[in-house]
Chain A
């Protein structure tokens, strides 16, 4: 079953901004799905429409088979939302925020308190249950929003940049927590600007740019499109000369000397790291460590967005030319 099905979703704001020009999206039940896009691409508008915070202009949204236009209450019951901005009452106690949220989903107060306890403990906020929300740190506020989104046991959890501004330790504990609840059956849609986060957590991915879906595939397939990877190699000892660059076999690799201790090497998908290391060793160059220059997904993301923008510019130019021709003809 599809957890989420969106077809030709469009949104034009009152000021005339066309935020969505026709987004199509399908998320399978149980998926961990990445929804990526640059700032202003339309991710938050899409999420706003799915969760009922933004009125759509046209298009269809269906959640676990419930059409949003005809079965809105059932559709909303399936969703838990962790928005980008803190949107709880800063003057309420932590436990009240969770109990009230459960209440809005029709859960009786006694059960709501039990659920609140469970999630506050899981997200290590139980000690802060009687503290006013405004007194929590940024990381705690993020975890509070995750606990609040889960308190009614949603089948679909939507996270809009949940780890923004969170330190690496908390971020990693959040990743573990999200992976666990995904393994337990909750479908997750994640938007993030940390692409390594999307790459390590998500199975499927969609990229939105300028209000349109420009890519919608599995993470594996998308990453396989990457035919060149660039590595930074850190040398054990400084280079004494660059004669090794003249070596015929090494010339197959695109090698740049960054400084006497660092090399940048672009590797085609068919090239082998083993042969590169062998050749470097033969030339008395020993490697102490290495890393990807950019995240693989980040590299692909930039390529796809750039390609889409070039296509859009080309279409616009063609339209303008044809319009000018019509006028002159």
Chain B
């Protein structure tokens, strides 16, 4: 395939993926906005007003970055895992497998769809957050970088989950039993400084902590971890998962007999 043909193939996958979730925006974009609004009302206003400042920030402002990133993580992951598994289930993935589209474009296309949903949901949640809080963004560049990298990382993870999934149950196991606990324990609602030493050390093994922490730094200038370490960890995981996903696609695991 020439570069122009490759571009056309990638464009096709991205448009298809974008239209897939945007057509059903009531199921894909609206729920995170409502859920986040409830978090702000309950944790931010009702309970948060009883909690003092954390690292010099109002509790409401402190939890905003974590809630935005949580929505990005769950939506980018959920988008790719459900889309790719549905394609496997309906066998429409064969349309791509018989075509000359290289596997790396298939991966980039699906991930781009996940990132697009992550970004749109992230923007919607940020708009909701701005209604409840008074945030002045500390660094647009860092916020955007962490935002996009996190969406990319979890989109790839979603694709790997879909490759291994053999039933619709399999696509909800990882989000329920791995992703949600790690996200909640990744410091959305608290600073790890508030934890005993042992649990602080345990928390540092959670990669999602670095994402939330660095995103919080970008948004409000407060972080539990070193920024450069966090960025290296996120990029490292992204490269690792990308390489692994490519290996699975090239070997045809879960998609070829």
Contact = CB atoms under 8 A, between A and B. Distances in A.
Given A53-B256, A73-B100, A73-B102, A104 B9 contact: yes
Contacts of B102: 73
A87 B90 contact: yes
A87 B99 contact: no
In this complex, the member of A73, A77, A79, A99 whose beta carbon has the largest number of chain B beta carbons within 10 angstroms is A73
In this complex, the member of A51, A53, A100, A104 whose beta carbon has the largest number of chain B beta carbons within 10 angstroms is A104
A54 B257 contact: yes
Interface in A96-124: 96-97, 99-101, 103-109
Contacts of A37: none
A100 B98 CA distance: 13
B6 A106 contact: yes
Interface residues of A, number: 35
B91 A85 contact: yes
Given A87-B91, A100-B16, A108 B98 contact: no
Contacts of B9: 103-106
A55 B100 CA distance: 15
A81 B100 contact: no
Contacts of A13: 257
A81 B87 contact: no
A106 B5 CA distance: 4
A275 interface: no
Contacts of A90: 90
B50 interface: no
B256 to A, nearest CB: 5
A48 interface: yes
B257 A89 contact: no
Nearest to B93: A87
Contacts of B4: 106, 108
A107 B218 CA distance: 41
A216 B95 CA distance: 30
Interface residues of B, number: 28
A281 interface: no
B92 interface: yes
Given A72-B100, A88-B95, A55 B87 contact: no
A9 to B, nearest CB: 14
B26 interface: no
A162 interface: no
A100 B256 contact: no
Interface in B66-116: 86-87, 90-92, 94-102
Interface in A55-81: 55, 72-74, 76-77, 79, 81
B14 to A, nearest CB: 10
In this complex, the member of A52, A79, A103, A107 whose beta carbon has the largest number of chain B beta carbons within 10 angstroms is A103
B256 A89 contact: no
A76 B90 contact: no
A55 B8 contact: no
B180 interface: no
A83 B100 contact: no
Interface string B220-255: 000000000000000000000000000000001000
Interface string A214-256: 0000000000000000000000000000000000000000000
Given A53-B94, A96-B16, A108-B4, 18 more contacts: A76-B99, A77-B1, A79-B98, A86-B91, A87-B95, A89-B90, A90-B90, A101-B95, A103-B8, A104-B9, A104-B12, A104-B13, A105-B101, A106-B6, A106-B9, A106-B101, A107-B8, A108-B8
Interface of B: 1-2, 4-6, 8-9, 11-13, 16, 86-87, 90-92, 94-102, 252, 256-257
27 contacts: A51-B98, A52-B256, A53-B97, A53-B256, A53-B257, A55-B252, A72-B100, A73-B1, A73-B102, A77-B1, A87-B92, A88-B95, A89-B87, A89-B90, A89-B92, A97-B95, A100-B12, A100-B95, A101-B95, A103-B8, A103-B11, A103-B13, A104-B96, A106-B4, A106-B6, A106-B101, A107-B8
